[in-house]
Chains A and B, each alone.
Chain A
Amino acid sequence: MKTVKIVIIGFGNVGRAFARVVALKKKIIGSKYGISLSIVGVADSKGMALRSDGFTEYELLKLCEVPRSSVNLFSPYAYDYVDLRYMYDQVQPDIHVELTPANYLTGEPGLSNIVFALSRKVHVVTANKAPIVLKYRELSGIAKKNSLQLRFRSTVMGGTPLIDTIMSLRSEEIEKIEGILNATTNLILTEMHDKLIDFDEALKRAQIMGLAEADPSLDIDGVDAAAKIVILSHVIDRSIALNDIKRESLSKVKLRDVVEAIKEGFTIKYIALFDVSRKEAFVRIVRIPRTDVFAQIGGTLNAVRIKTDVSELFFVGKGGGGTETAHSVLDDVIAIALGIEGDKR
């Protein structure tokens, strides 16, 4: 059995879900793929916990129970500071899992973390979109130079194999990508249509239920959906920049717009679109006929339609959610682990 050492950087919802999934599926993965996934380090904003021979399943489950930003309470493995260099020296990881929050202004701390991992010849899986959005070319260049993998399947429609599928379309020309790419805004619109409540109330409700952030601007101003379009543009090698995407804020939608749309047989959706041939992209509020397939995508579901020169593909699935994202991250980890030849150190 090949042992693959993993460090998790960022330990919020997705990090905990990932640790839990690894704890619960470690044996199954071991028997199915002949690899033993060993989580050897976890870090959050306040500290880190290290165990060079890998946390046991029980310890991983207990790690998921520590309060937020309190990995430093996980004795006897805890440290009151975060030092990636020290962590790497102690535990010698094979795969770095980057789960820090996205910062689209600087890409930090994820960007520096990923650069560090690649510089230490460690493969990277990231669910943090910002470094990929801002510095994909540079990061993938470093990875390629060092014969490392940089995987980010969970960043767009994490509950589906969208990115893997797009990457596999080698002979087809992708002409257009459009879709509902943000779960929070789709939920808000669904609630506005179903309950006939105004935007503020729907947003407040989503925040109360923990489905929208306290600062929801990344979602409602279309930054998150635009970031996903940027990532898809990188994947198909037709990169566009985040700032080149025209964005319309969903907060412009009033209840009366929804009521009018319903009366006239339409549904309002928040659509992200990338017209590849024109190299034009936007995230905007669109009235679509109630019979259109996007009109059927409600709640926290996401959907993407990909038009190629040959066919049209349609993906529907969970956009995010801790467990779904964690599984996507795990799929990337397994894909890398399968390619690691024995002990590379």
Chain B
Amino acid sequence: MVVKLGGSILRSSKEYIHAAKNIKELFIERNLRPIVVVSASKGITDLLQNVARGRKEAFKEIEDRYMGIALELGSVKLVKRIEEELSRLKKIAEGIEVADLALTDFILSYGEKISKIIMVQALELNGIRSFELNATDIIVTNNTHGDAVIDYPTTAVALEKVYNVIRDYNYVPVIEGFIGKSFEEEVTTIGRGGSDYTATTIAALLKIRNVYLVSDVDGIMTTDPDIVPTAKLIKHMSYAEALEASMYGAKGINPKAFDPLMKIYGSSILIGSWKKIGTTISKEIPKEYAGPKVVMFKDAGDYAYIAVVGEGVSSAKFVRDILDIAVRLGIDVKGIQAHVHRPSAILFVDKGKGREILKMFHKALFEEGSN
């Protein structure tokens, strides 16, 4: 399987070690051989963005964070490696005023690259034979800096060459997410949250059944838990539902991550934390799992919208149910939008009332079992 580690669980040396231990217990000791995809430690990409904007002081914070982690892990080799990478980054930071898109990508790549080096060391400290794979040798993209698209045929060739060698061994390859290289040989990035996209691309191209996206949340929630504390974990979703939910702002997965799964091979995505993998996203879900999964709100122009996402919710019957709920709750609906080919129904309501209406809808849909 492919295991992607989000930046939110890689904030300190302890978390890198914790991640390595979990990889050992959950996968290696069960004779499963993961390909590990790492994000940058939480907050580092933002700091690197600042470096690219010419804010040289941001470098110091990056240096403190990553050197702190390296020193705590206590390996001379690791410390020297991180020093090397940071000294290159420092030269760049000192040499630029404001970076263009290509140079920005080059700068951003240091976040994931250094994280990968640390992760390999953390795995080795846990007795797992591990080695670095370079995304720039494998993930080939177009040259749209900042939001590049992966070229699957070329990437497949590069990936298969490596995989044909490593699949016979018990070594754990660790590759940085988010990073690629264009045909023009320049470093590219594939969009914020792009490590999901790296992970699903690798899984799809190698026809690997499961992709684990591990972060500090247990899975995708029925709504934003910061607004509705009673939000629940969603156990099963289809690609179409998850894609629709992410387009309406649900946290959990980058929409681009579905592209290789829909075009090449339909791996399942398992989302969660080290404590609980709460959500499984599959190409298709059984009919009994159809129905509303997520409700979100957003202010848009003169109105706010409430998006209800789930297979079948754009059907006339369900739209009627939603309207019944709205009438029962006394919500003034300004408009409604539902397409039969999309797993969502959108209600337009008064701007400023979105949050309140979201809570009411969440209660009606997921807490009272009223659908």
Contact = CB atoms under 8 A, between A and B. Distances in A.
Interface of A: 23-25, 27-28, 57-58, 61-62, 64-68, 70, 73, 204-205, 207-210, 299-300, 321, 323
B132 interface: yes
A58 B137 contact: no
Contacts of B95: 204, 207-208
Contacts of A208: 91-92, 95-96, 103, 106
Contacts of A27: 165
Contacts of B184: 299
B171 interface: yes
16 contacts: A23-B165, A25-B165, A58-B129, A61-B132, A65-B77, A65-B131, A65-B132, A68-B84, A70-B77, A73-B77, A205-B103, A208-B95, A208-B103, A209-B103, A209-B106, A210-B88
Nearest to B80: A67
A66 B137 contact: no
Contacts of B187: 209
Contacts of A66: 77, 81
A321 B117 CA distance: 22
A58 B172 CA distance: 10
Contact of B76 (A58, A73, A207, A323): A73
Contacts of A57: 165, 169
Contacts of A210: 88
B317 interface: no
Contacts of A62: 131
B36 to A, nearest CB: 15
Q: Which has the most chain A C-beta neighbours within 10 Å: B106, B117, B162, B185?
A: B185
Nearest to B91: A208
A239 B222 CA distance: 76
Interface in B168-191: 169, 171, 184-187
B120 interface: yes
A47 to B, nearest CB: 13
A73 B79 CA distance: 12
Given A58-B171, A65-B120, A67-B84, A24 B77 contact: no
Nearest to B102: A209
B287 interface: no
A152 B87 CA distance: 33
A68 B96 CA distance: 25
Contacts of A205: 103
User: Across chains A and B, which 5 residue pairs bring their CB atoms closest together, nearest first?
Assistant: A67-B80, A61-B131, A24-B165, A67-B81, A208-B92
A67 B171 CA distance: 21
A20 to B, nearest CB: 9
B328 interface: no
Nearest to A26: B165
A204 B94 CA distance: 11
Interface of B: 76-77, 80-81, 83-84, 88, 91-92, 95-96, 103, 106, 117, 120, 129, 131-132, 137, 161-162, 164-165, 169, 171, 184-187
B26 to A, nearest CB: 22
A321 B169 contact: no
A66 B76 CA distance: 10
Contacts of A28: 164
Contacts of B132: 61, 64-65
A73 B95 CA distance: 32
A240 B187 CA distance: 39
A219 to B, nearest CB: 17
A23 B132 CA distance: 13
A321 B185 contact: yes
A209 B181 CA distance: 13
Contacts of B96: 208
Given A57-B169, A323-B137, A65 B129 contact: no
Contacts of B92: 208
Contacts of A323: 137
A28 B164 CA distance: 10
Contacts of A300: 185
Nearest to B120: A65
Nearest to A321: B185
Nearest to B84: A67
Nearest to B93: A208
A65 B165 contact: no
A68 B81 CA distance: 8
Nearest to B133: A61
A300 B183 CA distance: 12
A299 B131 contact: no
B172 to A, nearest CB: 11
A58 B132 CA distance: 11
Nearest to B78: A67
A61 B96 CA distance: 34
B180 to A, nearest CB: 15
A62 B173 CA distance: 11
A68 B131 CA distance: 17
Given A58-B171, A66-B77, A208-B96, 11 more contacts: A23-B165, A25-B165, A58-B129, A61-B131, A65-B77, A65-B117, A66-B81, A67-B77, A73-B77, A209-B187, A210-B88
A285 B310 CA distance: 64
B169 to A, nearest CB: 7
A30 to B, nearest CB: 12
A25 B161 CA distance: 8
A61 B83 CA distance: 20
A199 to B, nearest CB: 16
A211 to B, nearest CB: 9
Contacts of A23: 165
A250 to B, nearest CB: 20
A40 B219 CA distance: 49
Contacts of A67: 77, 80-81, 83-84
Contacts of A299: 184-185
A11 B162 CA distance: 22
B186 to A, nearest CB: 8
Given A61-B131, A300-B185, A321-B185, A24 B161 contact: yes
B154 to A, nearest CB: 14
A58 B106 contact: no
Nearest to B129: A58
Nearest to B94: A208
Nearest to A298: B184
Contacts of B165: 23-25, 27, 57
